[in-house]
Amino acid sequence: MKKREGVGITITEHILSEQRENPHATGAFTTLLNELIVAAKVISREVNKAGLVDILGPTGKVNVQDERVQKLDIFANQVMIERMQHVGQLCCMASEEDPDLIQIPSKFPRGDYIIFFDPLDGSSNIDVNISIGTIFGIYRRPEGRSTEEVLLDEVLQPGSRQVAAGYFIYGSSTIMVYTTGKGSGVHGFTLFPSIGEFLRSHPYIKIPPRGKIYSINEGYYAYWDDKTRALVGHFKGLDKEGGKAYTARYVGSLVADFHRNLLKGGIFMYPADLKDPKKPHGKLRLMVEANPLAMVVSEAGGYASDGHGPILDVDPQQLHQRTPLFIGSKEDVELAEDYISGRRK
């Protein structure tokens, strides 16, 4: 970590200090982030009650007992949409849960920002108390486009154009990690429930250049091509160099796996499943999962690749485009790229 000063300051103070450093700032972005934080606090409260639903009954208005897990996904999605649509800083949104762009209703004021989010990533883990999270990436609408309806080609921008990105992890505590890029650093804030505030707990997060952890779902070994098998063999110390084996950690909740590797160093991989026609590009989504985490890891000194080049340079073609993802410590991800692109065998 570069500095420890500022530990304990509230997230509001942090955002305002970043705003003061930008002479052109209007406060619009600050308003947007503040509303996002409120949405995450509401989701966090509901996630923390998840185990009580069977005891106390479903908490929602509609009684759909059997769909409780799915309901929390939908609840999180609704909270995000309802809280964010009226702030006046967004021109549209896109969610992992919605097939199309979410336009801002005409009764609300509109701004120039676009937000992508996965409202509850890793939601198959809710029932077993494994950490889950909300991921977000924020862009600006390209200049010169001002029709009421925002078009898909305006929204589909490479991840390198994100102006901010991050995630909330709902775990043993609720933590927000985010960056506004350009050397501002990656900062983590822990929710102090009794005062309802996020306090800075992880200033200037830096990921070690090389880690000791590899994270991948090895149950899909049969679906991988030889390059992926050779790469994972390397992390197990099985290749001809006979290097020391890494340790394996895979929770199956992207935010949780990513957060651990960000703090400790290592690589998370979700490769293309070449023999599975349902997942030729893997499972993870470029716009709501890969790009935001790629911005965070890059700002923290790490790297994210699709196996051939930077995730942040991918020119998106579809809203829900999937991508292979190799993300984490820079040297580990570069090594993965060498294997996947065939430069190393």
Cβ at position 108, least distance to ligand FDP in Å: 30
DSSP reduced 3-state for 130: coil
Q: How far are the Cα atoms of 45, 51, 118, 248, 290 from residue 130, in angstroms, in the given order? A: 15, 12, 17, 17, 20
**CA atoms of 8 and 21, how far apart (whole Å):** 20
Cβ at position 212, least distance to ligand FDP in Å: 20
- How many Cβ atoms are within 10 Å of 321's Cβ, its own excluded? 14
Q: How far are the Cα atoms of 14, 114, 276 from residue 24, in angstroms, in the given order? A: 17, 19, 49
Say if residues 239 and 232 touch (Cβ distance below 8 Å).
no
- Considering only 33, 156, 176, 254, the residue that binds ligand FDP (CB under 6 A) is 254
- Measured torsion, CA atoms of residues 102, 105, 109, 114, in degrees rounded to the nearest 10: 0
In the complex with ligand FDP, which residue's Cβ is closer, 119 or 188?
Answer: 119
In the complex with ligand FDP, which residue's Cβ is closer, 152 or 251?
Answer: 251
Stretch that binds ligand FDP, among 28-36, 108-116, 148-156, 250-258 (CB under 6 A): 250-258
- Considering only 252, 274, 310, 321, the residue that binds ligand FDP (CB under 6 A) is 252
Q: What is the DSSP letter of 310?
A: B
In the complex with ligand FDP, which residue's Cβ is closer, 90 or 286?
Answer: 286
- Considering only 284, 293, 297, 333, the residue that binds ligand FDP (CB under 6 A) is 284
Cβ at position 249, least distance to ligand FDP in Å: 12
CA-derived radius of gyration, the chain: 20
User: Which residue has 């290097």 as its token pair?
Assistant: 243
Cβ at position 228, least distance to ligand FDP in Å: 14
Number of residues that bind ligand FDP (CB under 6 A): 11
Contact flag: residue 157 with ligand FDP (CB under 6 A): no
Contact flag: residue 217 with ligand FDP (CB under 6 A): yes
What is the per-residue DSSP string for 48-106?
HTGGGHHHH---SSS--GGGHHHHHHHHHHHHHHHHHTTSSSEEEEEETT-SS-EEPPT
In the complex with ligand FDP, which residue's Cβ is closer, 119 or 185?
Answer: 119
Tokens of 319: 């809203």
Contact flag: residue 122 with ligand FDP (CB under 6 A): yes
Stretch that binds ligand FDP, among 10-18, 27-35, 174-182, 249-257 (CB under 6 A): 249-257
- Sheet of strand 247-248, all strands in order from the earlier edge strand to the far edge: 247-248, 213-215, 267-270, 325-328, 303-305
Cβ at position 268, least distance to ligand FDP in Å: 8
Cβ at position 51, least distance to ligand FDP in Å: 17
Stretch that binds ligand FDP, among 54-62, 115-123, 140-148, 336-344 (CB under 6 A): 115-123
DSSP reduced 3-state for 127: helix
Contact flag: residue 253 with ligand FDP (CB under 6 A): yes
Cβ at position 78, least distance to ligand FDP in Å: 17
Contact flag: residue 124 with ligand FDP (CB under 6 A): yes
Contact flag: residue 33 with ligand FDP (CB under 6 A): no
Contact flag: residue 121 with ligand FDP (CB under 6 A): yes
**CA atoms of 102 and 93, how far apart (whole Å):** 5
In the complex with ligand FDP, which residue's Cβ is closer, 9 or 274?
Answer: 274
**CA atoms of 315 and 160, how far apart (whole Å):** 10
In the complex with ligand FDP, which residue's Cβ is closer, 44 or 261?
Answer: 261
> Where does this chain bind ligand FDP (CB under 6 A)?
121-125, 217, 252-254, 283-284
